[in-house]
Amino acid sequence: MSTAADRREASMALPPLRDGDADAIDRCLETLWAERGLARQSLDSYRRDLALAARWLDGRDGGLARIDRAGLLDYLAWRARLGFSPRSNARLLSALRAFFSHLSLRGARADDPTALLEAPRQGRLLPKALTERQIEALLAAPDTGTPAGLRDRAMLELMYACGLRVSELVTLPANGVNLRQGVLRVTGKGGRDRLVPLGEEAQHWLERYLGEAREPLSRDAATRAARSGRPPAARASTGPLFVGEGGAVLSRQRFWRTVKACAVVAGIEASRISPHGLRHSFATHLLNHGADLRTLQMLLGHSSLSTTQIYTLVAREQLKRLHARHHPRA
């Protein structure tokens, strides 16, 4: 099976997106945002999926808007040869269905080539959670003697203490933190707000970051912006909570690189780390220490309890491993 690097190389070798396809995709996504209120991350994923399909077609048979079922099957076969996951293909199918539904509503197409295509079976993937000892090592990895290291420590502590999604963490506004009450206001999927307690350790590191690191990082960014003629970064009281050396909001990719670098320092193997690893560990450790599912659902910001229940499977698998390791008749 192809690796992620192989898939990236194959996609980079495709021709650039044609203007006609780009316009059709833009109109579809604008409608999805206006009528369904789709989250920005979902829109970005749909854009990547639709653009890759359109680039693979490269205008053949009228481009993406005119593709038929046979063409879609050929494209799915190409993805299968490259080793795209069932989860990735299921998301692609959702994007395509939304795209052709949009064309149908506009009267630009009468049929839907995805109508008889079935979503691939994804199975039930258990989230990977770190052990409590691994978490301690990961949190201690950043060099807190530097502003950037102090920021990274605060971000890691906050993600683990509050069970945040990566996208929620990097887009937290500075005014979303109430240190006096020890709570964080988080805007999650679908624009739903929730209040999450910080915990003493996360509050300690957040206070240190705000008192010692945020202003130097912002000031350095403002200085560089002035030298380059760019507009200065947002004011500390109204801008993003976590700022990078460039003054802008830190990207999910930038934080992911930070997590991987800290994992190396902590001696954690790469296969144990995922972008949501701290969120999964937060949920699993809470369950292991007696939290109930309803509370966990509220803290994670899940709209459905069935989504939260997957973490009970994680805890159950851990119990099985402990039993097999320590019981004399296991």
Q: 101-133: per-residue pLDDT in tens?
A: 999 988 989 888 998 787 666 555 556 788 899
Query: Is 320 one of the catalytic residues?
Result: no
State the pLDDT at residue 92: 92
Annotated catalytic residue: which of 102, 165, 280, 285? 165
Query: Is 165 one of the catalytic residues?
Result: yes
Residues 6+ apart with CB under 8 A from 92: 49, 53, 79, 84
| pLDDT for residue 213 is more than 60 | yes
State the pLDDT at residue 318: 58
Query: Is the pLDDT higher at 302 or at 14?
Result: 14
State the pLDDT at residue 127: 62
d(CA 284, CA 287): 5
Which tokens hold the place of 96?
């395509």
Annotated catalytic residue: which of 102, 280, 285, 302? 302
Query: Is the pLDDT higher at 203 or at 32?
Result: 203
* One-letter-per-residue 3-state SS of the chain: CCCHHHHHHHHHCCCCCCHHHHHHHHHHHHHHHHHHCCCHHHHHHHHHHHHHHHHHHCCHHHCHHHCCHHHHHHHHHHHHHHCCCHHHHHHHHHHHHHHHHHHHHCCCCCCCCCCCCCCCCCCCCCCCCCCHHHHHHHHCCCCCCCHHHHHHHHHHHHHHHHCCCHHHHHCCEHHHEECCCCEEEEECHHHCEEEEECCHHHHHHHHHHHHHHHHHHHHHHHHHHHHHCCCCCCCCCCCECCECCCCCECCHHHHHHHHHHHHHHHCCCHHHCCCCHHHHHHHHHHHHCCCCHHHHHHHHCCCCHHHHCHHHHHHHHHHHHHHHHHCCCC
Question: What digits encode the pLDDT tens for the residues 148-165?
Answer: 999 999 999 999 999 898
- CB neighbourhood size of 242 (10 A): 23
CA distances from 120 to 84, 93, 142, 270 (A): 11, 9, 40, 27
pLDDT-derived band of residue 204, with 50, 70 and 90 as boundaries?
A: very high
- Mean pLDDT for 238-246 is 80
| pLDDT for residue 314 is more than 80 | no
Annotated catalytic residue: which of 7, 185, 189, 208? 189
Query: Is the pLDDT higher at 281 or at 228?
Result: 281
The pTM of the whole model exceeds 0.75: no
- Mean pLDDT for 168-188 is 90
| pLDDT for residue 88 is more than 80 | yes
| pLDDT for residue 31 is more than 80 | yes
pLDDT-derived band of residue 208, with 50, 70 and 90 as boundaries?
A: very high
pLDDT-derived band of residue 48, with 50, 70 and 90 as boundaries?
A: very high
| pLDDT for residue 43 is more than 80 | yes
Query: Is 279 one of the catalytic residues?
Result: yes
Assign residue 160 a region: left if phi > 0, alpha if psi is -120 to 50, beta otherwise?
A: alpha
Annotated catalytic residue: which of 55, 279, 280, 285? 279
State the pLDDT at residue 233: 41
Query: Is 8 one of the catalytic residues?
Result: no
Mean pLDDT of the chain: 82
Annotated catalytic residue: which of 75, 160, 209, 311? 311
State the pLDDT at residue 121: 64
Question: What digits encode the pLDDT tens for the residues 96-108?
Answer: 999 999 999 889 8
Query: Is the pLDDT higher at 4 or at 112?
Result: 112
Domains, the chain, in order of start with CATH, read 4-105 (1.10.150.130), 132-326 (1.10.443.10)
Query: Is 47 one of the catalytic residues?
Result: no
State the pLDDT at residue 119: 67
pLDDT-derived band of residue 220, with 50, 70 and 90 as boundaries?
A: low
d(CA 103, CA 67): 12
Q: What percent of the chain has pLDDT over 90?
A: 36
| pLDDT for residue 23 is more than 80 | yes
Provide the β-strand partners of residue 178.
183
